[in-house]
Amino acid sequence: MNPSPLDLDTLRRLAIEQPAAGVTRLLALAVSATFLLAVLDLVRRGRLKEEYTPIWVVVATGLMVSAVWFDGVRLITRAVGAWTPSSTLFFLGLMFLLVLCLNYAVRLSGISGRVTVLTQEVSLLREELGRLRENGGPGDAAAGLERT
């Protein structure tokens, strides 16, 4: 009555060695190839800066390699101690998105500081322009500036 229990190592090995369906691998290859073509087309049209191209080409190529060489995903799964290759792929995708978000947060922080400085400079220029107009024009304003 008592079925033989499978130990955790056996269950993990079965989950890792589960064969990937050919249709799934073919679909993953088609999607990653389409993604690569989309990235290259965006660069060609000038809608994606060239500085981001290597990142997205590496991502698309990595997806293509993982679709073709699924044993590599299994190898990584064993190395990180995950139970299934899909959880490894989700983990790697999550780490990529985390790094990408951090990169954009750093860039936005820098831009925010630059916008503050630009706003202050525009405010000073507007004040100066207002003084120039009050003094009767640029010639009078230049003379006024020399007096101060």
Residue 98 lies in a domain: no
Residue 6 lies in a domain: yes
Residue 145 lies in a domain: no
Q: How confident is the model at residue 139 (pLDDT cuts 50, 70, 90)?
A: low
Per-residue CA distances from 32 to 72, 120, 123 (Å): 17, 46, 49
Domain region containing 52: 1-83
Residue 126 lies in a domain: no
> Each residue of 58-109: pLDDT tens digit?
999 999 999 888 888 889 998 988 888 889 999 999 999 999 999 999 999 9
> Each residue of 2-51: pLDDT tens digit?
556 677 788 777 777 777 777 888 998 999 999 999 999 999 999 988 88
What average pLDDT does the structure give for the chain? Answer: 86
Tell whether the model's pLDDT for residue 131 goes beyond 90.
yes
Total domains in the chain come to: 1
